[in-house]
Structure 1
Amino acid sequence: MTKTEERADYLPGGMIIHQRPDVFTYSMDAVLLAMFADAARAESVIDLCAGTGAIPLLLASKTQAAIRAVELQPKLCRLMERSISTNGLQEQIRVEERDLLTLNPAVDGPVDLVTCNPPYFAAPKMRQPLEEAGAKQIARHEVACSLQEVTAKAAALVRPKGKAAFVHRPERMAELFAAMQQVNLEPKRVQLIHPKPGRDANILLVEAVKDGAPGMKVEHPWTVYQENGEYEPAFYKYVLKGEGLHA
């Protein structure tokens, strides 16, 4: 199989996701966010920066809520649509091929839950035109939207006391918290993911409540691998085997 060929992979829990290595493939970060996000009582969900749809697909295992998957890139939208069709979720998940900055809260909100796996890295100082950026660059760097813009849009879309859940890098934790609080998203739950025992965390999960009161719970961290390179048994069962989808 070449990098330009589409492939069908399995998500935790058994759903099929269509991907292309040369365009974009989902990462563990998306799986962790889907497990972390509290969708139990949600009736409406928007996933921003949806990529190939890993988060919407996994959330569909946790909730009966209507899910809208917003993604800017046409190639990713086509892959996502095929995954939704393959899994028979056309009635629950709707793909919206659009710039998230064009979402209008008066029309597109309010919703109970917003999830987002945004670009992690700041745009280069010499920012190139969006049409010249590659698919992976748009997904990984703040070429199409900044951290401040995506948190502001999440806040605008979610209802009062609704929730917004993000996955990001720990080194940008302070920046993410500041951006959230500037738009009345109060961080309420935080979880850190460590690659191995004794290693610094490399993944940050945050859930905020719109207009929430101060007070944050730091949940027990996950460790992904044992020192011998094998998965930690608890992490393997909860995340990779999909038990967290039904917790």
Structure 2
Amino acid sequence: MSETWLRHPAERMDDLALGGRRIIQRTDAFCFSMDAVLLAHFPQMSGRERVLDLGTGTGVIPLLVADHAASVEAVELSPVQAELAARNVRMNGLTEKITVREGDYRDPPALFACGAFDLVFANPPYRPVSRGAVSAGTRAAARHELTATLADTVRAAAYALRRGGRLAMVHLPERLAEIILTLSDADLAVKRLRMVQPCADRAPNLVLIEAVRGGARAGLRNEPVLIVRDGSGRYTEEIRAIYGGHI
């Protein structure tokens, strides 16, 4: 008997516009947004990478990068989100490529081997609990550092990466100085930065970062700004290309 994919009244199925790939999310929990999609497309991949996704949620980044990696492991603290991520992997026929583990990446040795990965993705909570209104439930954990701080995320990534391996992360520009220092303390050197602006006349609201484990401190490449919408409010050609024209 075929598996019943939708199992809860709050679940919905969305099209990832990637060869028929789909994702189940819950409307009463945190759903992925553009930042995860931009992050998935940020690092260049050869197809040989062993990939780790920290705080995978319902597994959107593994689903987006699976075709460009040798293998993907995904870690998620929330049992509900972890179960959804595992179900999404099965639904898309990717069980031989993607493994989902429920657990707390603040204790990396309990989840993965030291130095086992070539590339780590991290879309961590953006705001310390002292800043901004704290929402309820899984939305709060996704937006505020209730379950993992910036330092926790960087430590986990540094533990997971081999020397020369890369961390790809999306975060807030306002925390960039803190991010660079935290990465440096963990022997991660920032090599690429790209700011994301909602439109040309507004300040950046996201920054994409790539750092190398054990890399030299020199050689940072600050890439051209990625602009999301043009002057008419339409998505730019680059954003449309990232979404495969389906936006």
TM-score, normalising length: structure 1 = 0.88
The residue aligned with 1:26 is 32
Match of 1:26, SS state, is coil
The alignment status of 1:54 with 2:89, answered yes or no, reads no
Aligned residue type for 2:237: P
CA 1:51–1:217 in 2, change beyond 3 Å: closer, same or farther? Answer: same
Normalized per residue, which structure has more helix?
Answer: 1
CA 1:107–1:56 in 2, change beyond 3 Å: closer, same or farther? Answer: closer
Overall identity of the aligned pairs, in %: 39
Give the C-alpha shift of residue 66 in structure 1: 1.3
Cα distance in 2 for residues equivalent to 1:210 and 1:121: 25
Does the 8 Å CA contact 2:105/2:111 hold for their aligned counterparts?
no
1:107-122 matched pairs, under 5 angstroms: 108-110=113-115, 111-122=117-128
CA 1:57–1:103 in 2, change beyond 3 Å: closer, same or farther? Answer: same
User: Which of 6-15 and 46-55 deviates more?
Assistant: 6-15
In the alignment, structure 2 segments of 5+ residues that lack a partner are 1-7
Match of 1:101, SS state, is coil
Cα distance in 2 for residues equivalent to 1:106 and 1:215: 33
The alignment status of 1:200 with 2:203, answered yes or no, reads yes
The residue aligned with 2:139 is 136
Deviations 1:115-169, CA, capped at 9 Å, x for gaps: 10000010248xx9xxxx6111111110111101111111111000111110001
Q: Which has the higher contact order (CA 8 A, sep 6+)?
A: 1
CA 1:88–1:75 in 2, change beyond 3 Å: closer, same or farther? Answer: same
Cα distance in 2 for residues equivalent to 1:102 and 1:94: 18
Match of 1:153, SS state, is helix
CA 1:107–1:168 in 2, change beyond 3 Å: closer, same or farther? Answer: closer
User: Which of 83-92 and 99-108 deviates more?
Assistant: 99-108
Aligned residue type for 2:68: K
CA-based RMSD: 2.1
The residue aligned with 2:224 is 220
Deviations 1:212-237, CA, capped at 9 Å, x for gaps: 01210011221111121111123212
Aligned residue type for 1:44: R
Aligned residue type for 1:25: C
Aligned length: 233
The residue aligned with 1:177 is 180
In the alignment, structure 1 segments of 5+ residues that lack a partner are none
Does the 8 Å CA contact 2:193/2:222 hold for their aligned counterparts?
yes
Question: Which of 40, 44, 68 in structure 1 is aligned with 2:73?
Answer: 68
CA 1:42–1:147 in 2, change beyond 3 Å: closer, same or farther? Answer: farther
Cα distance in 2 for residues equivalent to 1:4 and 1:121: 30
User: Which of 106-115 and 223-232 deviates more?
Assistant: 106-115
Aligned residue type for 2:105: L
Q: Could you list the runs of 4 or more consecutive aligned residues of structure 1 that deviate by over 6 angstroms after TM superposition?
A: none
Cα distance in 1 for residues equivalent to 2:74 and 2:112: 16
Question: Which of 207, 229, 235 in structure 1 is aligned with 2:239?
Answer: 235
Give the C-alpha shift of residue 41 in structure 1: 5.2
Does the 8 Å CA contact 2:198/2:204 hold for their aligned counterparts?
yes
TM-score, normalising length: structure 2 = 0.88
Give the C-alpha shift of residue 61 in structure 1: 2.6
Deviations 1:26-73, CA, capped at 9 Å, x for gaps: 11000001000233254311100111111111110322x211100000
Aligned residue type for 1:15: R
CA 1:44–1:105 in 2, change beyond 3 Å: closer, same or farther? Answer: farther
Does the 8 Å CA contact 1:12/1:241 hold for their aligned counterparts?
yes
